[in-house]
Structure 1
Amino acid sequence: MRVFIFRISNFFKQNLQLIHHHQYNPNPNFSSIREFSQSTSIPKKQQRIRDHGYDNYMEIEKKTRKVLKFQNLILSEPNQSIPISRLETQAHRIGFTRHEAIAFILKFLHVFEIFEHPVQRILFCRLTRKAILQIEQERLALADQVERAVTRLRKMIMMSNGLRLRLEHVRIARSALGLPDDFEYSVVLRYPEFFRLVDAKETRNKYIELVEFDPKLAKCAIEDARERVYRERGSEAEDIRFSFLIDFPPGFKISKYFRIAMWKWQRLPYWSPYEDVLGYDLRSIEAQKRMEKRAVATIHELLSLTVEKKITLERIAHFRMAMNLPKKLKEFLLQHQGIFYVSTRGNHGKLHTVFLREAYSKGELVEPNDLYLARRKLVELVLLSPRKARVDRELIGYRRSKLDDEMGQVTRAYVEDACEDFKGGDRVEQGVDEEDGLSSDIGSDVDSANEDDDFDDCVSNEKEIS
């Protein structure tokens, strides 16, 4: 009897504890889902899944950046050729030792050629005919798309607060946007009906202001993609009004709750990147969710405006305040790995390159442009085997006079703009990584000023993008 009473008392104690901790519902027909429910918001901390297609793309670009350094060094010479002895002594300025410089040149015989000077009887290095033609093709493509570059710059400023951006920030990102090196004069001052330069007295910085907001340009690239899907699917595409194109990298695990969160996020309304939100009340949770999705749309549009649909994360961080982007950009982008891909290859993890996933297919742009194709020509020369270059020189006679004529087509203005920092004698220490501040665009003009800017940006924005 005592044992029975003891068991009964223990049974009631256990049930009382169960009711106290789990909020037991006496109605057996109602199932409480509070304790079993999980958050349907997208997790903020996502593990980065590597996509080898984009990483291999950056590994090739790593070689291309180094080739560009040597190209600019050679083009800075009066006769566009440099003695091997001088090349060895100046190699430290571009992050190479004396022995590494010669070994590197011999790997890319389709770009560089070593010859004996007919008078001085010493070895010189110059660019090959194919490399010179590639430079000329890129220069012509850059000049032909000035009007499109003007439109890109106008749309970028339209996404900013107060319709203005810092001139220095645009200068750092000029290659990705397809702007010429002298864009301050050839674009900004040449089109006073669109832009004006303003000096800020409080900060002593120059700003590019937009003269007038053009509603015709206030249309995002993702909206065009939605219209194409709507025309294909008709009334069945009503659910894509606020959605983005999603393509997760191979090996990305999608749980049931993550799928539900993505389903809700895709249908969440948001404000356009071209819409002014300074006057809105952003204190509510709904407004904050809309602003987060608006930030995704802003970065999506910024990548769509670039020539190669990619740009370094450090350059995006320059526009963070002007475009209302979150502080921790890297963590924010990793939440949306189906839209963007962040690669750390090709620069030892010090810079991060952001790709727009929907713009690429099998390592190539889906919709290439002339400037992109011209830059890819250099990549093709870099990837060619040096053995094939030796065979070609044995079978085909190389006429130096014809090369001189083609070299003359490369104007001195272009050469001086591309290589002005090599003439200034700014020293780059050997301990600094050779890729830290380089432009992430294949075939773009690289100067040491950009290297310093990007290296400082990498250090100063480390907390913001981590």
Structure 2
Amino acid sequence: MKKDPDLESALSRNHRWMVNNQIKNIILRCPDQVTSINHIQKKFKSLDLQGKAANWLKKYPCCFEVYRENYEYFCRLTKRMMFLVEEEESIKDSQELVFVERLAKLLMMSRNQRLNVSKVNELKRNFGFPDDYLLRIVPKHTDMFRVVNYTGKRSSMDIELISWNPDCAVSAVEKLAKKKGSEPSFSCLLPATWVKSWERFLEFNSTPYISPYADSSVLSEGSVEMDKRNVALVHELLSMTLWKKLSISKLGHFKREFGFPEKLNVLLLKHPGIFYVSNKYKIYTVLLREAYNGSELIEKDPLVVVKNKFGELMQEGLHEYNRRHYLMNLEKKKKKGVAKVRPIGRSRDDDEKISQLNNQEGNFGGILDAEERKRFYKVLFGDDAK
């Protein structure tokens, strides 16, 4: 699929947020909400990070406070960060009924109105569910859900839907069509020059829409109708997520429960006007095109709003860290008698580049190839770089 710079930018921005969010959760689960740097270092591989944990954490001083005690380094969340954590928890409490509806929708789209708990846990943060949703939400709504275990194995624990709610069985596509007073159909967001893709989309969209909540057992595998239903199902799942995106591998874990085709990625790539598939960070991710205007979400869930504040706090700290290192490098140059680099205004991308350079220096004891540094500063500062 041809790369969309705006959607790729949205993915890269979210990647750093997701990594730091996981670090935040690691710290919150620790006694007194403090953990050693060594403990976070051990988690680095699972976070898909390399290098030293201390270097990473110090890049975000507005989020993480690193300090030394008894010859060992520790980390805790800053006061501003804790304020956002409290705000996030408050929103989760106020959105309980929203989570109930999302969970009901997930179960209603599954073939047996039942999903494995461990599999739901893989996607819980995508849908905004609290970590303790099994204790916080499910027991309060025994008229809708129950936890069952038909095999006796701990890994076989399932959440089952007890009562079907027709008000929940309405997809995002159907809601929009009702609002417009038209028949349900998909939207295509492709340039007019993509003639063949538009022709395929119009042919696909000409057949009746099939709701993801409809009984799929009457549809034939590999038929146009089944493809239509599967596209509607992925569309609905993405519509329910906070960031309107999901990992294709995680979606693939639900092939049996949702009746997805064996080659789900092939189905998604056939509909570039509806879905955007990216392999950024070597993880195949599918985004809902219509949910974005450029690199920004059009409609933001309250949880996304508070998470964006987290992102802004991250960026503020990153800029502060880069500025501090920039001034330190200038001071070193002055002492060595090297001409001063004329500073210019920098963008967020520049902050990321400088951060990567500083991190690389930190990982290798401050030793960096002179030509690499020269090329970097020339790209960043132009011909004035010395």
Instruction: Tell me the TM-score range normalised by the shorter chain.
Output: 0.7 to 0.9
Offset at residue 63 of structure 1 (A): 2.0
- In structure 2, the partner of 1:290 is 225
Amino acid at match of 1:207: D
Offset at residue 369 of structure 1 (A): 1.9
Structure 1 moving runs of 4+ over 6 Å: 96-99, 389-392
Query: 1:271 aligned to 2:205?
Result: no
SS of 1:228's equivalent in the other structure is: helix
Task: Note the 1:95-134 alignment, pairs <5 A.
Answer: 95=45, 100-115=52-67, 124-134=74-84
Residues in 1 aligned to 2:144 and 2:234: alpha-carbon distance in whole angstroms:
23
- In structure 2, the partner of 1:375 is 307
Residues in 2 aligned to 1:179 and 1:254: alpha-carbon distance in whole angstroms:
38
Residues in 1 aligned to 2:157 and 2:72: alpha-carbon distance in whole angstroms:
48
Q: TM-score, normalised by structure 1?
A: 0.63
Relative distance call for 1:290 and 1:380 in structure 2 (3 A) is: same
- In structure 2, the partner of 1:228 is 179
Amino acid at match of 1:103: N
Asked if the contact 1:177/1:305 (under 8 Å) is kept, the reply is: yes
Fraction of identical pairs, as percent: 29
Relative distance call for 1:122 and 1:258 in structure 2 (3 A) is: closer
- In structure 1, the partner of 2:138 is 188
Task: Note the 1:317-332 alignment, pairs <5 A.
Answer: 317-332=252-267
Offset at residue 302 of structure 1 (A): 1.0
Q: Return the match for 2:147 from 185, 197, 200.
A: 197
Task: From the CA coordinates, give the structure whose radius of gyration is larger.
Answer: 1
Q: Return the match for 1:357 from 286, 289, 296.
A: 289
Query: 1:254 aligned to 2:197?
Result: no
Task: Note the 1:294-443 alignment, pairs <5 A.
Answer: 294-345=229-280, 348-349=281-282, 351-386=283-318, 388=320
Amino acid at match of 1:243: S
SS of 1:126's equivalent in the other structure is: strand
Relative distance call for 1:143 and 1:258 in structure 2 (3 A) is: same
Task: Note the 1:9-158 alignment, pairs <5 A.
Answer: 48-82=1-35, 86-88=36-38, 90-95=40-45, 100-115=52-67, 124-158=74-108
Offset at residue 264 of structure 1 (A): 2.0
Amino acid at match of 2:213: Y
1:141-186 deviation line (CA, Å, top 9, x unaligned): 1221111000011111111112212222111111112211122222
Residues in 2 aligned to 1:260 and 1:391: alpha-carbon distance in whole angstroms:
51
Q: TM-score, normalised by structure 2?
A: 0.75
RMSD (CA atoms): 2.9
Asked if the contact 1:198/1:207 (under 8 Å) is kept, the reply is: yes
Residues in 1 aligned to 2:16 and 2:88: alpha-carbon distance in whole angstroms:
18
Asked if the contact 2:216/2:226 (under 8 Å) is kept, the reply is: no
Amino acid at match of 1:282: S
SS of 2:287's equivalent in the other structure is: strand
Residues in 2 aligned to 1:291 and 1:124: alpha-carbon distance in whole angstroms:
54
- In structure 1, the partner of 2:170 is 219
Relative distance call for 1:74 and 1:179 in structure 2 (3 A) is: closer
Residues in 2 aligned to 1:378 and 1:336: alpha-carbon distance in whole angstroms:
33
Query: 1:169 aligned to 2:116?
Result: no
Offset at residue 245 of structure 1 (A): 1.0
SS of 2:257's equivalent in the other structure is: coil
Relative distance call for 1:110 and 1:293 in structure 2 (3 A) is: same
- In structure 2, the partner of 1:206 is 157
Asked if the contact 1:270/1:291 (under 8 Å) is kept, the reply is: no
Residues in 1 aligned to 2:200 and 2:49: alpha-carbon distance in whole angstroms:
52
Relative distance call for 1:391 and 1:144 in structure 2 (3 A) is: farther
Amino acid at match of 1:303: L
Asked if the contact 1:242/1:266 (under 8 Å) is kept, the reply is: no
Offset at residue 353 of structure 1 (A): 2.1
Unaligned 5+ runs, structure 2: 325-386
